[in-house]
């Protein structure tokens, strides 16, 4: 049986928002069973909270953003990916700004933070959503499908007109070890020719070679180069894992992505919820499948290690 998990203690990290360019402090704190992932901002007189749920998704280019009752937080995909990749089910994420810090552009700093806080088992079994029938979103050359499978699996393909990227495909087996070793360190990427356009749209104000892999017409501007020859497709999987966390329960199924992105990732989550006949929920306490109403997984109720450094951990 697999139990729910939270973090062992409160711990913080600070950095700069990728799009806002504003300083940001993020604090992870333990949360009770079945509470899910909650973003919190504390004010002088009251606190605001927003659950990481597809029902709270807000429109935003090039990142995943949620909000409710006037509270908004953007670029949440990397911290969600780290939590989901390490099977952390319940946690409070306190922020002093409207954007999660970018750190190095990957999920690795958040993985280190979780490791430093400790991963604590809770006295409640996890619930899994098992795909029974294929579902599909997208069209033409951009698509995302999920198929029945006995295990969680992702096959992701990308195609960019750049000599260092071109066509890349990666298969991810959905395990914690695979996530930490081969996915978590993959960084977000951009193209130098598009940077001024991003700035004109009010995006990427905090972007730098410290948190983004930047491709020029002929190479990589970052001094250290790429961490993997196929770092770009690995980062796409990192984003997908974070976006799927908005479903609120882990998926058992085979996801096949072709030139996808945040929009299709979250559209797939909505499509899953809109088609309850295509899935069932598995309760690991008795290992018998049962079907739950869609509002039950869309609401508040369920819902190799890295070297540790202290430079950015408070």
Domain boundaries, the chain: 3-124, 128-298
d(CA 54, CA 246) in angstroms, rounded, equals: 5
Note the helical H segments in 179-230: 195-200
Q: Residue 24's closest CA among 14, 34, 32, 9?
A: 14
CB 96 within 8 A of CB 24: yes
The angle formed by the CA atoms of residues 153, 109 and 222, to the nearest 5 degrees, is 95
Please measure the distance between the N-terminal and C-terminal CA atoms of the chain and give it in whole angstroms. Answer: 35
- Rounded mean pLDDT of the chain? 90
CATH of domain 128-298: 3.30.1700.10
Alpha-carbon gap, residue 234 to 186, rounded angstroms: 6
pLDDT at 188: 96
Identical fold at 3-124 and 128-298?
no
Phi, psi of 209 (to 5 degrees): -70, -5
Which CATH code is given to the segment(s) 3-124? 3.30.230.20
- The three-class DSSP label of residue 195 is helix
d(CA 268, CA 255): 10
Report residue 306's pLDDT band, with 50, 70 and 90 as the boundaries: very low
Question: What is the helix (H) or strand (E) element at residue 121, kind and residue range?
Answer: strand 119-125
Residue 119: pLDDT band (50, 70, 90) is very high
Residue in 19, 235, 254, 262 annotated catalytic: 262
Residues forming beta bridges with residue 58, ordered by sequence position: 65
Helix (H) or strand (E) holding 93: strand 91-95
Residue 300 has pLDDT above 90, yes or no: no
More confident residue, 19 or 286: 19
Q: Which residues pair with 280 in a beta bridge?
A: 130
Q: How far is CA 122 from the centre of its chain?
A: 22
Q: Residue 81 — φ and ψ, nearest 5°? A: -65, -45
Note the pLDDT of residue 303.
Answer: 33
Mean pLDDT over 181-193 rounds to 96
In the annotation, is 254 catalytic?
no
Chain CA centroid to CA 274, Å: 21
pTM reported for the whole predicted model: 0.90
Give CA–CA dist 204/190, Å, rounded: 10
User: What mean pLDDT do residues 64-85 have?
Assistant: 96
């Amino acid at each position: 049986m697999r139990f729910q998990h939270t973090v062992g203690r409160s711990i913080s990290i600070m950095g700069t928002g990728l799009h806002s360019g504003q300083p940001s402090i993020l604090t992870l704190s333990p949360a009770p069973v079945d509470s899910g992932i909650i973003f919190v901002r504390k004010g002088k007189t009251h606190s605001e909270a927003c659950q990481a749920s597809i029902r709270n998704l807000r429109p935003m280019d090039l990142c995943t953003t949620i909000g409710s009752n006037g509270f908004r937080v953007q670029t949440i995909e990397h911290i969600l990916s780290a939590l989901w990749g390490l099977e952390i089910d319940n946690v409070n994420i306190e922020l002093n700004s409207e954007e999660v810090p970018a750190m190095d552009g990957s999920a690795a700093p958040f993985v280190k933070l979780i490791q430093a806080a400790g991963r604590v088992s809770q006295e409640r079994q996890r619930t899994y959503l098992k795909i029974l029938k294929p579902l599909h979103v997208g069209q033409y050359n951009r698509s995302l499908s999920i198929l029945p499978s006995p295990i969680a699996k992702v096959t992701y393909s990308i195609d960019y007109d750049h000599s260092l990227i071109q066509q890349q495909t990666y298969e991810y087996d959905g395990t914690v070890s695979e996530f930490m070793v081969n996915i978590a360190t993959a960084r977000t990427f951009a193209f130098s020719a598009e940077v001024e356009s991003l700035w004109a749209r009010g995006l990427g104000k905090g972007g730098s070679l410290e948190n983004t892999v930047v491709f020029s017409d002929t190479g990589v501007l970052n001094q250290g180069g790429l961490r993997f020859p196929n770092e770009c497709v690995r980062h796409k999987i990192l984003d997908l894992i974070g976006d799927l966390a908005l479903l609120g329960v882990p998926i058992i199924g085979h996801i096949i992505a072709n030139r996808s992105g945040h929009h299709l990732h979250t559209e797939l989550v909505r499509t899953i919820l809109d088609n309850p006949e295509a899935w069932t929920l598995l309760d690991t306490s008795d290992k018998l499948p049962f079907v739950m109403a869609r509002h039950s997984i869309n609401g508040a109720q369920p819902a190799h290690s890295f070297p540790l450094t202290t430079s950015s951990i408070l």
